Structure 1
Amino acid sequence: MLRRVSFSVAILAVCLAAPSYADEPNPRGALVNGDGPGWVMLDGDDFVRVNGDDKTLVWNGSLAIGSGKPIGVTRSVKQYKNFELLIEWQHKEFAGNSGVFVWVPESALNQLPPDELPNAGIEIQMLDHGYKAKYLRDGGKPPLFFSTNGDVFAVGESTMTPFEPLSPNGSRSFPSEDRSKGFGSWNHYYVRAINGEVRLWVNGAEVSGGRDCNPSEGYLCLESEGAPILFRNIRIRELP
């Protein structure tokens, strides 16, 4: 317990000392900052543990400190259909892997055991640039089925028609440009999910997405996939 608290305090100090990406120069225009009518800040009261433990995701106000273990998800209390989502994230180690799921049905979360991810929903990937180097070092071969700048894709039983450019196997919307920052830096994701279509902006530029998503309503899920990560400034605005 003392070790977990010390880790959380140390990470919190780093987070508070680091400038928000929203305060940094952005050559592509203003970032969506989540201000204005209808926007709601989410914190620990708005999420429920699915198949992690009490160390998987520790909340300090609106900052979520993720250990990455066990593999799994923490879901929102509410289900959402049409919405805008803002979330900032920072990997804490080289080759970190995580993401946020949207439109995850309840059936994919019921009795989900530790070390498994939901078999449905749309994943908006958060992957450190070092993951590519690690994948190749561990024997992976090109062409790569993933990128590290904001892939969007359907998971398991869900379906989506991805926007171009596509991954080599055609299953993912690959980002149209490289926008993500590496571990130790904050990234800003803005997601617009309306009537079965999801679009992702990475650090101020739209890069990927898809249409014809099924299902197109469900939970938001913060992913734990083995590596420590921070989430902050999670804001949502529900739309008609």
Structure 2
Amino acid sequence: MKQTAIIFLGLLLFGGTTKSQNTDPIFNGQDLSNWVPVLRSEANADTVFYVKDGIMNAGGDPFGYIRTKDSYENYELSLEWRWTGEPSNSGLLLAITGEDKVWPHCIEAQLKHKNAGDLVLMHKGAQASVQGQDYQVDPEVRWVSVANKFNPSSEKTPGEWNSYRIRFLNGTLELWINDTLQMQATNVTPTKGPIGLQSEGSHIQFRNIELIQL
């Protein structure tokens, strides 16, 4: 019994050390010092994106996003979100590439109400394969391409906290909404860049933002 307890304790310590080595604190729950705001129109970014009680807030107006200063590739990202009023649109921008603008070249994990889990490709060069079908942006048709989520919405009632888990490894992307797999894509491009959270319509909150490098 004593030996079993020692082994169990050792596993706990080893697991804790591994997580500490691989986890990147992209949001410290106190301020936005690791983030860069990008807005469509002139506005005080501090009134659009701000932290209160350990929660990151995005006002929804004007449109824009706030992104990490650092770039990431091969990771698992988890967070919680909720709408504080009438739900509308938002998203997680992955592998932001090139110029900071609204909206940038990237891969979006959709957060639009009832559509969380859709995959949105933005601008020429963004592409993915989903269930044997290739998706890419044709700028002569539209600047985005959308692959719809696999299942009916698994979002909770507006006002309740939802969980989003994203695994992005070697060009394969999985999106889990409240533990339901809503998207799995391969041959995803681009794969590396900052991560952003959108302000796009109405007030949304984010918390427990954690990234584990794979």
TM-score, normalised by the number of residues in structure 1 = 0.67
Q: Which amino acid aligns with 1:108?
A: E
* Contact 1:158-1:215 within 8 A present in 2 as well: yes
SS at match of 2:33: helix
Question: Deviation digits for residues 7-62 of structure 1, max 9, x if unmatched?
Answer: xxxxxxxxxxxxxxxxxxxxxxxxxxxx9442234232321212262211101364
Q: Which amino acid aligns with 2:74?
A: N
Q: 1:36 to 1:205 in 2, by over 3 A?
A: farther
1:121 aligns with 2:106: yes
User: 5+ unaligned residues in a row in structure 1: which ranges?
Assistant: 1-34, 130-147
Q: Which residue of 2 aligns with 1:89?
A: 81
* Greater Rg by CA: 2
1:172 aligns with 2:172: no
* Contact 2:128-2:189 within 8 A present in 1 as well: no
Q: Which residue of 2 aligns with 1:150?
A: 117
Q: Which residue of 1 aligns with 2:179?
A: 204
Q: Which residue of 2 aligns with 1:67?
A: 59
Identity %: 26
Superposition misfits of 4+ residues, deviation over 6 angstroms: none
Q: 1:99 to 1:149 in 2, by over 3 A?
A: closer
Q: 1:165 to 1:215 in 2, by over 3 A?
A: closer
* Contact 2:129-2:188 within 8 A present in 1 as well: no
User: 5+ unaligned residues in a row in structure 2: which ranges?
Assistant: 1-17, 138-144
Tell me how far apart the structure 1 counterparts of residues 181 and 112 of structure 2 sit (CA, whole Å). 17
TM-score, normalised by the number of residues in structure 2 = 0.75
- How many residues align? The count is 178
Q: Which residue of 2 aligns with 1:182?
A: 157
Tell me how far apart the structure 2 counterparts of residues 175 and 85 of structure 1 sit (CA, whole Å). 18
Moved more, 213-222 or 45-54: 45-54
